[in-house]
Amino acid sequence: MNLGPHADFIVAAYALTAFVVAAMVAWVVLDHSAQRRMLGDLEERGVTRRSQRRGS
């Protein structure tokens, strides 16, 4: 595939987009595992939400 005389601009646009999309995916995945870990820690220590207590 020949990208012509402005190949640098095209490659830079695709590289930047790939980087930002990868950063967004990493953000949601890492944030999810961090929140799950913190919830797990709290539950292990016996901390419950008030709504859970009402339900039990």
Measured between alpha carbons, how far is residue 9 from residues 12, 13, 36, 46, 51 in Å?
5, 6, 41, 56, 54
Report, in Å, the least distance between residue 41 CB and another protein.
9
| Positive or negative torsion for Cα 36, 38, 39, 45 | positive
Q: x/- binding map, residues 1-40, to another protein, per CB under 8 A?
A: xxxxxxx-xx-xxx-xx--xx-xxx-xxx-xx--xx-xx-
User: How far is it, in rounded angstroms, from Cα 36 to Cα 29?
Assistant: 11
Pick 4 or 56: Cβ nearer another protein: 4
Note the residues at the interface with another protein (CB under 8 A): 1-7, 9-10, 12-14, 16-17, 20-21, 23-25, 27-29, 31-32, 35-36, 38-39, 42, 45, 47-50
